[in-house]
Structure 1
Amino acid sequence: MNNGTCSSITGIARVGRNSADSFARARRVFPDGTSRVTIDRDPVPLYIERGVGSYLFDVDGRRFLDLNGNFTALIHGHAFAPIVEALTDQLQRGSCFANPTKSEIELAELLCSRIPQVERVRFVNTGTEAVLFAIKAARAITGRSKIAKLEGAYHGAYDWSEVSLTATPHNWGDPTAPSSTAFYHGMPASVLDEVVVLRFNDVEGARRLLSMHARNLAAVILDPMPSRGGLIAPKSEFMVAVQETARDRGILVIADEVLNLRQSIRGASARYGLVPDLVTMGKIIGGGLPIGAIGGREDLMKVFDASAGDPLLPQGGTFSANPLSMTAGLAAMRHLDSAAFSYLEMLGNIVRDGISRVISNRGAPLCVTGAASLFRLHPIAQIPNDYRDAYPAPAGATVMRQLTRFFAENGIFLPHGAAASMSTPMTRADAELIIDVFARFLDRHQEMLDAIQVRR
């Protein structure tokens, strides 16, 4: 049984013998057999041999329609020819230098021309770094230390942005004043004291809490449609409340578009009426390579300006703006024109509408959220309003695990508890397949679905 890494013979059969063997090897060199806590395992991970277009092929030779896209980063799918060609050319000329290259200027020009409020850009290596430096910039500009963030929203692996990421009914506190909860054992109490937690779509709560803490608040960071928070659409009045209060109180607004930039050619903020001071970007702008970026108004981005000596906020990095990421990102974004975004939105609409129709026809206690090329399924009958509404009861969590498993058994890699995403190589037939597999899942698991309504 390979050092106990598989819980049963059935489990080995489900993931494939080669994946099971790979995981047994991995457990001898990684603390839990992986290098990312976000890796799904049932009971072991699927090990991938290659990706082509919208498909993944595992080490056991099985093919999966990829709805994960490396956590939504691969908007053109796998091995997209223009990216491969651009990278091949760049690799022959060098992978990284201590000096700048033209490709970083070209990618920055593209972003500044598309994304509202982005007049200047600074490149880093990950979305986490983008958020980290945006928060630091807000502190340097305002002279304040606290931030406000949404309960359940993911903004990368920076202590302050991780507060209340995994809040539960046992610790999330008063619905009108959410507690700041620790993400990991040992998170300093001082960090918790410096984060004000807001509930998504709570209009009055946002006004009250931002006003109450305004004197010490440097910024409020807001994902226009938090993936981990449920991929729920924002209420327009919530967006207005946050922005009006922030402007009145001198609090900067940071839009985290690391994931949701894929919602339109201008990003998600423009879609939902958010006019941020700073914007964090990543994922799709790297063409499948590591990348992050902070953008914003020229006057605010001067916080990074070192032309006259020491900047207010020093920022560097050995691989920041490396030519491979810049080249791949430029190729990816150049092929994301208005037609590409319209096509992706069309596919997303087909899937969301089809799933909603199946749910309605069968009277199933599930719902689907999302927008553009993104969707997420929930084991509740009504569209959730925020993270607390979307938090699954035990019976619902079981259904979602079974749903992910059923999709895998039918050749589709569906993320567990996160956003699923469409990519440009996908077709209408792929969208219809997703709907069909979902319908078959409902037909075969009626007793489990009934348990949601009984136990919630």
Structure 2
Amino acid sequence: MPRGNTRTTLFVPPTPPYAVSGSGPYVLDQRGHRVIDCNNNYTALIHGHAFAPVEKAVAEQLPHGTAFGLPTETEVQLAELLASRTGLPMWRFSNSGTEAVMTAVRAARAATGRELLVRFEGSYHGTSDAVVAANAPGVPEAVAGTSLALPQGDAEALREVMRTRGDEVAAVLIDIMPNRAGLVPAAAEFVTLVRELTRQHGALMIVDEVITFRIAEGGLHREYGIEPDLMTVGKVIGGGFPVGGLGGTAEVMAIFDPLRELGVSWGGTFSANPMSMIAGRVALEHFTAEAIERLNSLGDQLRSGLTEAGIAVSGRGSLTRIREDVDLPRLWWALYGEGVLAGTNGLLALSTPMTDDHVHTVTTAVVTAVRGLRGGNQ
């Protein structure tokens, strides 16, 4: 494997440690070094590692089969749970957040008969050609031309595009708190404007909640009081197993009706496999409104402690991003040495096994690491 691993997002030079095991909020690497996991597989492991209820449910399913050439009741159960939480009545499943976004974009283009996708610079929506930077290696110019990236939160730029090209726009794709763009929550006025302009011009609004779904029981968009046409999810809805999900209105999701003439045909060998569906349902059933409130409170406590110590951070709820002007690989290693596993961009994602003591330890580690990289001047 180039540089020794599969996922670019996990690489830190010269080479990352290798995980051996995980339990609750901890990960143990091949050298025997134990860390508090504030990466949680890039926010996916909402209950940390080896969550007993998920382990039990998955173990009970194993003797009965892991994947079939038929649908199973498990996907219906997870779809019903997501519908009850989000208010979006129709759902389909895939194997990753990337694939969920791919499905949403295809659906929007098919439903509207238009090609142009409007998105925002710096937001990460997976690795498909339609949603990466136009100059990304390997993206054909013809494909890049079907997507338009606007500055984050730029209302005037959005108005101008919709005024001049609104009849070409299939959808506006938005992450309300984009991690790679700084993990700063979008202004409510801007999110409302996206909803108003898409409706005005007959385009769809796609909200990407692959990361932010953990912030509220039905996703972060519900805190903004908006109703998207399509919503993508992943990570926490898989209970530690591969998953992606697309929810939407009945009108838009009808484009996937297999009996519909010129409908969208979308398969996936392991999509909606019972292992992911069962693990996801059990994980969400234990991620109650009370659990969400408690975990978000721990996130507030973390940001408050770091801010008081003079560390620049952003985020909301159980997600925090370190915003210091320091070398990120050096920050990653410094944190790792202090016993904290973070994202390679300074992302800290909490999990339900964590306590006040864990947050205190993480806070101390971040302060120590950042001050050390500043040269010990603060």
TM, length-normalised to structure 1: 0.80
Q: How does 1:337-376 map to 2 (within 5 A)?
A: 337-359=288-310, 366-376=311-321
- Give the conservation status (yes or no) of the 8 Å contact 1:214–1:249: yes
What SS does the aligned partner of 1:213 have? helix
Q: 1 CA distance for matches of 2:293 and 2:8?
A: 33
What SS does the aligned partner of 1:436 have? helix
**How far 1:405 sits from its partner (Å)?**
1.7
1:182 to 135, 139, 149: 135
Q: 1:417 to 1:352 in 2, by over 3 A?
A: same
Instruction: Name 1:377's counterpart in structure 2.
Output: 322
Q: What code does the residue aligned with 1:105 have? A: V
Q: Do structure 1's residue 288 and structure 2's residue 236 form an aligned pair?
A: no
Instruction: Name 1:213's counterpart in structure 2.
Output: 165
Instruction: Name 1:408's counterpart in structure 2.
Output: 336
**How far 1:442 sits from its partner (Å)?**
4.4
Q: 1 CA distance for matches of 2:376 and 2:174?
A: 36
Decide which moves more: 416-425 or 56-65. 416-425
Q: How does 1:182-331 map to 2 (within 5 A)?
A: 182-184=135-137, 186-306=138-258, 308=259, 310=261, 312-331=263-282
Q: 1 CA distance for matches of 2:375 and 2:48?
A: 36
Q: 2 CA distance for matches of 1:339 and 1:212?
A: 46
**How far 1:187 sits from its partner (Å)?**
1.5
Q: 2 CA distance for matches of 1:242 and 1:449?
A: 44
What SS does the aligned partner of 1:350 have? helix
Q: 1:182 to 1:353 in 2, by over 3 A?
A: same
Instruction: Name 1:79's counterpart in structure 2.
Output: 50
**How far 1:437 sits from its partner (Å)?**
1.6
Decide which moves more: 308-317 or 426-435. 308-317
Q: What code does the residue aligned with 1:238 have? A: F
Tell me: higher relative CO, structure 1 or 2? Use CA pairs within 8 A at least 6 residues apart.
2
Q: 2 CA distance for matches of 1:41 and 1:88?
A: 34
Q: Cα deviations across residues 344-367 of structure 1 (Å, max 9, x unaligned)?
A: 1111011011101101xxxxxx51
What SS does the aligned partner of 1:434 have? helix
Q: What code does the residue aligned with 2:105 have? A: I
- Give the conservation status (yes or no) of the 8 Å contact 1:96–1:323: yes
Instruction: Name 1:128's counterpart in structure 2.
Output: 98
Q: What code does the residue aligned with 2:135 have? A: A
Identity of aligned residues (%): 38
- Give the conservation status (yes or no) of the 8 Å contact 2:9–2:344: no
Q: Do structure 1's residue 88 and structure 2's residue 39 form an aligned pair?
A: no
**How far 1:397 sits from its partner (Å)?**
4.3
- Give the conservation status (yes or no) of the 8 Å contact 1:407–1:414: yes
Q: Do structure 1's residue 162 and structure 2's residue 90 form an aligned pair?
A: no
Q: 1:445 to 1:227 in 2, by over 3 A?
A: closer
Instruction: Name 2:26's counterpart in structure 1.
Output: 55
**How far 1:161 sits from its partner (Å)?**
0.9
Q: 2 CA distance for matches of 1:236 and 1:401?
A: 34
Q: What code does the residue aligned with 1:121 have? A: W
**How far 1:449 sits from its partner (Å)?**
7.1
Q: 1:90 to 1:403 in 2, by over 3 A?
A: same
Q: 1:37 to 1:215 in 2, by over 3 A?
A: same
Instruction: Name 1:431's counterpart in structure 2.
Output: 359
**How far 1:309 sits from its partner (Å)?**
5.1
Q: Cα deviations across residues 350-386 of structure 1 (Å, max 9, x unaligned)?
A: 1011101101xxxxxx51100010000112xxxxxxx
Q: What code does the residue aligned with 2:312 have? A: C
Q: Do structure 1's residue 38 and structure 2's residue 3 form an aligned pair?
A: no
- Give the conservation status (yes or no) of the 8 Å contact 1:55–1:65: yes
- Give the conservation status (yes or no) of the 8 Å contact 1:147–1:217: yes
- Give the conservation status (yes or no) of the 8 Å contact 2:104–2:206: yes
Q: What code does the residue aligned with 2:269 have? A: T
What SS does the aligned partner of 1:405 have? helix
Q: CA RMSD in A?
A: 1.5
**How far 1:211 sits from its partner (Å)?**
2.4
Q: How does 1:383-398 map to 2 (within 5 A)?
A: 396-398=325-327
**How far 1:419 sits from its partner (Å)?**
2.8
Give ranges in structure 1 of 5+ residues lacking alignment.
1-29, 164-180, 360-365, 380-395, 451-456
Instruction: Name 1:138's counterpart in structure 2.
Output: 108
Greater gyration radius: 1
Length, aligned pairs only: 378
**How far 1:266 sits from its partner (Å)?**
1.2
Q: What code does the residue aligned with 1:190 have? A: A
TM, length-normalised to structure 2: 0.96
**How far 1:439 sits from its partner (Å)?**
2.5
What SS does the aligned partner of 1:92 have? helix
**How far 1:228 sits from its partner (Å)?**
0.8
Q: Cα deviations across residues 205-253 of structure 1 (Å, max 9, x unaligned)?
A: 2211232221211001001101111101111121122221111111100
- Give the conservation status (yes or no) of the 8 Å contact 2:123–2:180: yes
Q: Cα deviations across residues 51-79 of structure 1 (Å, max 9, x unaligned)?
A: 00000000111101001000100000000
Q: What code does the residue aligned with 1:194 have? A: T
Q: 1:339 to 1:33 in 2, by over 3 A?
A: same
**How far 1:445 sits from its partner (Å)?**
4.0
